[in-house]
Amino acid sequence: MKSILLLLFVVAAACSGGSARSSLGGFAPTGDMTVARDGHTATLLPDGTVLIAGGANSGTVLASAETFDPATGTFTATGSMSAQRVLHTATLLPNGQVLIAGGNYFIGASEEILASAELYDPATGTFAATGSMIEARDAHTATLLPNGTVLVAGGGAGRMTVTSAEIYDPTDGTFTAAGDISVGGERHTATLLGDETVLLAGGYAGSVRSGLASAELYDPAAGTFTATGSMSVARLDHAATLMPGGTALITGGYQGSNGLASAELYDPAVMAFTPTGGMTVSRHGHTATLLLGGTVLVAGGGDGNIARASAELFDPARGTFNATGGMSVARLQHTATLLQDGTVLVAGGYGGSDGYSLASAELYQ
């Protein structure tokens, strides 16, 4: 099937007179998830399957999970989490298990923020409780460090911003305090850089959700956070992608009520951000996936609650974004996972202003 699609894209490029480079990419539908979800997590497992966990189905927060098998193009239900979770994190550990941490769910009109964490074992297809975080949080980040521990940073707790960070140690299943980030941050990004520091950028703090331009670095060796250069514009709900050359690409997001099309690169050698070419449209809640060839696939997202189906590719050699084939359906707050064969699985998300979640999934070839 993949070879047939590839041939069709090549023929289309030749007939239109366009370059094969700009025309080869495209999306093809694959099997649907067992339940519609947005705000879920997706984790590539060592055997090449993908774990999909939690999220919300048109406002109802889910505890269920499922796996995607690229060989068959199908999703299959697996064990459920012990708690309903949305805006949680999922981190693949060196032992092949997946750490699920935090998030929130609703009891009636009351929002409950979670400190609990659990581990998914692919060998048994089940979740088991592990130590709880010191502080309940959602919309935080979780970053696997080179020594096998996980840095959990920031997030929110209702209308309060969480400024603390903590480290999860899989050897004893416990979280320990790791200091405070400078201003807190929900919906920020965290990127492990080549020098083993972690770049935290943007997000928002407190009840004022206009976005932050600030950034800081976590040094695992020293166990400290240090301010670094600020972004050229405040952003939240943006995306960050580590590039092969060691820079971090920051794309989109929004500031106040304004969606952003701008992008910039953080260079750890000079500890500064530099603007690069802008995207073709503004996006927040999108995905940005580094492809095997070194370009970055930016897909979906939205402007306000209006979801987009379009996608584009960032070319690091030129510093430009160019449109590629669009998805079959508009989506934001979805997931995108690079599979072992180089294709990208895009799954679920929020379909737009009508308030519906999506069960559909597709593959970018």
Residue 251 lies in a domain: no
User: Per the domain annotation, does 105 fall within a domain?
Assistant: yes
Q: To which H or E segment does residue 6 belong?
A: helix 2-16
Burial of 231 (0-12, 13-18, 19+ CB in 10 A): buried
Q: Does residue 97 fall inside a structural domain? A: yes
The CA-based dihedral angle spanning residues 66, 67, 68, 74, taken in that order and rounded to the nearest 10 degrees:
-60
* pLDDT at residue 207 in the model: 65
pLDDT in tens, 57-111: 988 999 999 999 999 999 999 999 999 999 999 999 999 999 999 999 987 677 8
Q: Specify whether the CB–CB gap between 363 and 30 falls below 8 A.
A: yes
Instruction: Indicate the pLDDT class of residue 10, thresholds 50, 70 and 90.
Output: very low
Q: Residue 158 has what pLDDT?
A: 82
**Number of CB atoms found within 10 A of residue 351's CB:** 20
Looking at the chain, the whole-number percentage of residues with pLDDT higher than 90 is 83
Residue 107 domain flag: yes
Say if 257 falls within a structural domain.
no
What's the domain range around 165? Answer: 32-180
Farthest-apart Cα atoms in the chain, separation:
60
How many structural domains are present in the chain? 1
Tell me whether residue 48 is in a domain: yes
Q: pLDDT class for 183, splitting at 50, 70, 90?
A: confident
Q: Are 361 and 33 in contact (CB under 8 A)?
A: yes
CA distances from 337 to 20, 126, 137 (A): 24, 21, 24
Number of Cβ atoms within 10 Å of the Cβ of 317: 7
Indicate which CATH number applies to the domain containing 38.
2.120.10.80
pTM for this entry: 0.92
CA distance 236 to 292: 27
